[in-house]
Amino acid sequence: MPLGDDLRKELPAIGVQASWYGEPHHGRPTASGERFDRNRLTAAHRRLPFGTILKVTNLDNGRQVFVRVNDRGPFSPKRDLDLSEAAARRLGMLDAGEALVSIDPVERDEIAEARRMLQEPAQAAENSARRAGEMIARAKRR
C-alpha cells in the first residue's frame, strides 16, 4: 500500500525498538477488525495505514521479514513496533522479546517476494489442516 506524504517521513526508520505478541492475543480482534493470528506475518504500528507492507530487519543478526500492518500499538512509549510471534521467530528475537530493527517500505522489485512470504503461514496451516482431515478420513475407513 503506498504511503501518503504525511506518513512517508516515518520510513525508513533505523534503530526502532520492536517487541512481539502471541498466544494471549491469538484469535482476538485487532484494531483493523480481523482476528489476530500469531502464525501470520503481521505487525502493530501507531500510525501506518492498515494493509501497509513493511520490510523489517533485525539489526543484531541481519534477518529480514515482510509484515502487514493490521493492528494498532505498541502501547509502551519505549517501543515503536509490535510483531506477531511468527515475524519475531523469523527475525530471531523470540527469546529476547525485543530487538532493534529497521523498518523500510517495500520496493517495487520486492513486491512478489513480500506477497509470497505473507501467504506462507496461511498456506502451511491450510496444508496441515488438509493433511489432518485426510488422516481422519483414512482412519474412519479402517
Global pTM value: 0.77
Running DSSP on this structure, what letter comes out for residue 29? B
Give me the residue label for grid cell 485426510.
Answer: 134
The Cα 79–Cα 9 span in angstroms is: 18
Residue 2: alpha-carbon gap to chain centroid: 18
Tell me the sheet residues that pair with 104: 55
pLDDT in tens, the chain (142 residues): 555 555 566 777 889 999 999 888 888 899 999 999 989 999 999 999 999 999 999 999 999 999 999 999 998 999 999 999 999 999 999 999 999 999 998 888 888 888 888 887 655 555 555 565 666 666 767 6
- Whether residue 103 contacts residue 47, with contact meaning beta carbons closer than 8 Å, is answered with no
Structure confidence by residue, pLDDT tens digits, 12-48: 788 999 999 988 888 889 999 999 998 999 999 999 9
Greatest extent of the chain over all pairs of C-alpha atoms, in Å: 63
The Cα 134–Cα 140 span in angstroms is: 10
The Cα 82–Cα 1 span in angstroms is: 19
Running DSSP on this structure, what letter comes out for residue 35? B
Which grid cell is 137? 478420513
